[in-house]
Structure 1
Amino acid sequence: MMEVTLRQLRAFAALARTGGFTRAAESLHITQSALSGLIKELENQLGVRLVDRSTRRIRLSEVGREFHSATTQVLRDLDAAVENVDNLKRLRRGIVRIAAPQLMSSTLVPEVIAGFRQAYPDVRIHLVDCAVETVIAQALRGEVDISIGPQREAVAELVADPLFDLPFMAVFPPGHPLEANSRVAWADLVRYPLISLQGQFTDRLSMDLQGISAVPPIRPTHEVAFMSTALSMVNSGLGVTTCLPYAQTLVDLYGLRMRPLADPEVRRQFFVYHRQHASLPPAAEAFVQYLHEHIRQRAWGSATP
């Protein structure tokens, strides 16, 4: 089986382009004898003469002219492929596919995307906002590069990269009796109509608070699908709710107040998930690094004035 090398092909292309061994060798920064050796090796590999030599000039044989056309296309495609990989590596192009819960997709993630796009304007971001229960499955199925979501039972096929660990906050309208407190006890919060999220959100909270005698069982007055709905209901005076500090921009947008919840402090840990045996594309890897840096720069947990 013939083993034509890339050096041989580039030597032949340079010779055909320049029309002489001296100029071809100079263009490749090799000696003329080295160039002549590469051409002879190529002809021996193919078993045909590609170049007709004379004392004054060289000319491509008929086979050489046809081979030159194919060689030019091969080298052009190879150079384009190498340039494409280099662009991906240098983040001159690429796409990052992210799945995140609806609340995070309307607060934290857009902030990160905006900053990342300033640093890497040629990288496209595709955000999938979905229910928190389905966010991890997006990465597991390979539909996204990364998923950002809360701690769940370990999945062997996924890598879980810790992102942040934050306490729950109480959210209520301005002028509410709880506004006088720098911190709000759970026992005080649940005395008011509580608006909570459906499904695992309320179930996990109940488990965290179970067995604490000072805190009555959580019985939400309203259970809704999205935190934006809960905040709108709080804004309308229908009750209070809880959320994590990363949602503060949305809380502020509704003109609401936020205070740390205590007695006990309940926390939630979030992770960046990606498939175990699939390396992240360069753009996705850069986005994860930028996300971690953005989190480190945030000062969460303080009360809203």
Structure 2
Amino acid sequence: MTLSLRQLEAFVAVCDEGSFSKAAQRIHISQSGLSILVRELESSLGTRLFDRSTRHVLLTRAGEEFRAPCMRLLADLSRAVGNVKALEARQRGHVVVAAPPLLAARLLVGMAQVFRTEYPDITVGLLDIPAESILQRLQAGTVDIGFGAFASDQPDFAVEPLMRGPLMALLPKTHPLASRRTIPWAQMASAGLVMQAPGNPFRADLDRAFARLGLEPVVNVEVTQLSTVISLVEAGFGAAIMPPYAALLPANRKTVIRPISAPHLPSEIVMVTDALRAPSAASQAFREIAHSVVRKMRKAASDGGRTRRAAAISGDPAD
């Protein structure tokens, strides 16, 4: 017995439409051509599938029995074709991802390395640019995925939580607060801070946090880049408040990292894409790799020695 895909499509179309003429229009064939397909199918099965009259087309008992498995077969085949096409689409392409310089160096490079191993024929463009430029480039279409500490209320962007953890204090080892295990916000406010300049998204978040707590921070120095903030802390110019990926900083004999507590104000690192543009197959693949890398980081943190540095990224998954 030989059944063709076209015969099965014709049968399901008649079942759905209840009419040979409408079914023929649906699958773009003449009515006589559709009738031939149905007769050939019935001949192969050795039974009638429809009772036909001038006004009605009704399924026979055999037709009722055949309908459900036939529809499942076509649905499974459609999914299989879609999966193969998606897989083929991921064999080539280009994706551009962007993050602030420190996050790009400490997290994005590792993601890109895994991605290159999984998808060697998809090229990756990495941009280490200021956070305030990332959203502009997403809207312009020159960046596919942005990473950073962006607020979730971005109407023009799709925001996916990636990493959640406490804000961290970066302190010179000689700082009076360096001996504490955790540092309250009130003490951070008076610690003498090195901060990014106003206009930076992370700085805006910190300003809102201090305002909610009724605190006025003492700011020693303001600079543009987070990497410069770190260098100034290492040089003893003051303390700094860092996003959760500060836990990824390499050990430094001049500084210590401590969680900020009382109250606990978690911060999120997110992936951002343009909500108005459908992601390419390459872009979707990179997003999946990003989530996979962070999951492995959390698992390594929980399976390992659970140092304070790892604990900052081993908190609740940002689902």
**TM-score interval, normalised by the smaller of the two chains:** 0.5 to 0.7
Give the letter aligned to residue 123 of structure 1: I
CA, structure 1 residues 302+137, in 2 after alignment: closer, same or farther (shift >3 Å)?
farther
Is 1:202 the counterpart of 2:203? The answer is yes
CA, structure 1 residues 208+302, in 2 after alignment: closer, same or farther (shift >3 Å)?
farther
Identity of aligned residues (%): 26
Give the letter aligned to residue 213 of structure 2: I
Give the letter aligned to residue 273 of structure 1: V
CA, structure 1 residues 121+208, in 2 after alignment: closer, same or farther (shift >3 Å)?
same
Give the letter aligned to residue 264 of structure 1: P
Structure 1 alignment gaps of length 5 or more: 1-84
The answer on whether the counterparts of 2:220 and 2:237 sit within 8 Å (CA) in structure 1 is no
Q: Mean Cα displacement is larger for which, 259-268 or 114-123?
A: 114-123
* Per-residue CA distance 1:224-254 (angstroms, 9 max, x = gap): 1111111111111121111123133335357
The answer on whether the counterparts of 1:107 and 1:247 sit within 8 Å (CA) in structure 2 is no
Give the letter aligned to residue 240 of structure 2: T
Between the aligned partners of 1:189 and 1:173, the Cα distance in structure 2 is 13
The answer on whether the counterparts of 2:164 and 2:244 sit within 8 Å (CA) in structure 1 is no
What's 1:72 paired with?
A: none
* Per-residue CA distance 1:121-159 (angstroms, 9 max, x = gap): 222110122211121221122111112233336444432
Between the aligned partners of 1:282 and 1:275, the Cα distance in structure 2 is 15
Give me the CA root mean square deviation: 2.7
Between the aligned partners of 2:181 and 2:217, the Cα distance in structure 1 is 22
What's 2:113 paired with?
A: 114
What's 1:96 paired with?
A: 95
The answer on whether the counterparts of 1:183 and 1:261 sit within 8 Å (CA) in structure 2 is yes
SS at match of 1:239: coil
Between the aligned partners of 2:307 and 2:206, the Cα distance in structure 1 is 21
Superposed displacement of residue 91, structure 1: 3.2
Residue correspondence of structure 1 range 1-305 to structure 2 within 5 A: 89=88, 91-152=90-151, 154-199=153-198, 200=200, 201-212=202-213, 216-252=215-251, 256-299=255-298, 303-304=308-309
Structure 2 alignment gaps of length 5 or more: 1-83, 311-319
Superposed displacement of residue 212, structure 1: 3.0
SS at match of 1:178: coil
Between the aligned partners of 1:112 and 1:127, the Cα distance in structure 2 is 11
The answer on whether the counterparts of 2:86 and 2:281 sit within 8 Å (CA) in structure 1 is no
Q: Mean Cα displacement is larger for which, 268-277 or 238-247?
A: 268-277
Superposed displacement of residue 284, structure 1: 1.4
TM-score of the pair, normalised by structure 1: 0.64
Superposed displacement of residue 173, structure 1: 2.3
Give the count of matched residue pairs. 219
CA, structure 1 residues 277+206, in 2 after alignment: closer, same or farther (shift >3 Å)?
closer
Superposed displacement of residue 98, structure 1: 0.9
Between the aligned partners of 1:126 and 1:238, the Cα distance in structure 2 is 35
Between the aligned partners of 1:167 and 1:143, the Cα distance in structure 2 is 32
Give the letter aligned to residue 134 of structure 1: S
